Amino acid sequence: MKKLAALALAVGFTAFGLADAQAGMRYVTIGTGGVTGVYYPTGGAISKMVNKKRKEYNLRVTVESTGGSVFNVNAIMAGDLEFGVVQSDRQYQAWNGLKEWEGKPQKKLRSVFSVHPESVTLVAAVDSGIKTIYDLKGKVVNIGNPGSGQRGNSIDALEAAGIDWKTDLKAEGLKAAEAPGMLQDGRIDAFFYTVGHPSGAIKEATAGNRKVRFVPMPDEVIQKLTTKYPYYAPAVIPVEFYPGGTDKMDVPTFGVKATFVTSIDVPEDIVYAVTKEVFDNFDAFKKLHPAYKVLTKESMLQGLTAPLHPGAEKYFKEVGLIK
């Protein structure tokens, strides 16, 4: 990771000339996710906005494609990344010392804002005969790569449905970007993906020769999960974005939010600058991805567990978003 940061730094110096370096330009990196998800363009959108004013802020933002939420939290805590996009459930677990961080609460973690809702999306090949989550028994199912937020969501969904992911099905640990191709090649029967819609990976999965469907989450599973965990909420998968799929109606499921986080060690003026650029250019930000269509400034302060970073808090107080 440090090597990558050094490389990014070297590239930055070369691309923007030594004048930048001599002027004390500061470099920060945003950890995102796979390039076909929404995290990567989210990081790109934020970096573009801040980099437009890089001379004013003495700040240059780069974006890194990573393994997702758990990786991003750990890299931020280690000082290898300054910012990261993290699922709201992973933020909650990291702050409270649960799951991967069992007994080790990440108390340096700070919230900046939340972004789009993310739906736990279960995609299955029609010829696999999978119509409900209960039909996954005995099938080959991608539950997500270790260290990704979606793997935790997949396991939660399966457990809520009374399915043991270790014994009742053949669980694969592929990255999200690999799953659509594997499904179309007939090498897996179904895959889970926690993602904002529309998603490039889901478009790829629904556009191939092998017909696919979205598998709805049963009411009892949604009820169980939203009652047990504070970070889950009911959600829907909008089928309008996926004309290649076989579904005619939006599909019920549950979901989380994508959140933008940092560390208390990142200087206040840097976090303030990033927050200000996103919120001052809110309408332009919303247009950068269809998944942001539902955003309001108020909703971007929901779904956060870790305390707000003082830089973000300063901006939100200035504009009256918080008292």
Of 154, 210, 150, the closest CA to residue 175 belongs to 150
pLDDT digits (tens, 9 = 90+) for 243-261: 999 999 999 999 999 999 9
Same domain, 93 and 215: no
User: Could you tell me what percent of the chain has a pLDDT over 70?
Assistant: 93
Give me the pLDDT at residue 1, please: 53
Tens-place pLDDT, residues 212-243:
999 999 999 999 999 999 899 899 999 999 99
Tokens 């971007």: give the residue.
Answer: 300
Question: Last residue of some domain: 256, 274, 302?
Answer: 256
pLDDT tens readout for residues 159-180: 999 999 999 999 999 999 999 9
38-86 pLDDT, tens digit each:
899 999 999 999 999 999 999 999 999 998 999 999 999 999 999 999 9
Distance, CA of 211 to CA of 46 (rounded, Å): 36
| 177/90 same-domain check | no
Nearest CA to 243 among 279, 295, 203?
203
Q: Which amino acid is it at 312? A: A
pLDDT band per the 50, 70, 90 thresholds, residue 282: very high
Residue count of the chain, please give it: 323
- The CATH number for 238's domain is 3.40.190.10
CA distance 189 to 176: 14
* Under 8 Å between Cβ of 197 and 118: no
* Statement to judge: residues 102 and 221 lie in one domain: no
Total tally of structural domains belonging to the chain: 2
Residues 284/291, Cβ–Cβ less than 8 Å: no
Looking at the structure, tell me whether residues 175 and 278 fall in a common domain.
no
Summarize the confidence of residues 251-275 as an average pLDDT: 97
**Two tokens, residue 278:** 């996103």
Q: What is the pLDDT of residue 37?
A: 84
- Is 164 among the domain residues? yes
Higher pLDDT, 214 or 303: 214
Q: Is the peptide bond before 238 cis (omega within 30 degrees of 0)?
A: no
> Are residues 249 and 189 part of one domain?
yes
pLDDT of residue 23: 63
% of residues, the chain, pLDDT over 90: 85
Which residues constitute the domain of residue 193?
Answer: 118-256
Name beta bridge partners: 119.
Answer: 195, 255
pLDDT of residue 171: 98
Alpha-carbon 131 to chain mean position: 27
Label the pairing between strands 59-64 and 26-31. Answer: parallel
| Shared domain check, 122 and 222 | yes
Give yes or no: residues 275 and 239 share one domain: no
Asked whether residue 3 carries a pLDDT value surpassing 50, the answer given is no
Average pLDDT over all residues of the chain: 92
Residues 103 and 165 in one domain: no
Q: Dihedral of the CA atoms 236, 242, 243, 245 (nearest 10)?
A: -80
Sequence-ordered list of residues with C-beta below 8 angstroms from that of 101, at least 6 positions apart, any chain: 73, 93, 94
Buried residues in 232-266 as b, exposed as e (16+ CB within 10 A) = bbebbbebeebeebeeeeebbbbbbbbbbbbbeeb
Q: What's phi and psi for 231, nearest 5 deg?
A: -95, -5
φ/ψ (deg, to 5) at 192: -95, 145
Give CA–CA dist 40/68, Å, rounded: 10
pLDDT of 141 reads 98
Query: In this structure, is residue 296 part of a structural domain?
Result: yes
Q: CB under 8 Å to 268, separation ≥6 — which residues?
A: 309, 310, 311, 314
pLDDT score of 267: 98
* pLDDT, tens only, 85-106: 999 999 999 999 999 999 999 9
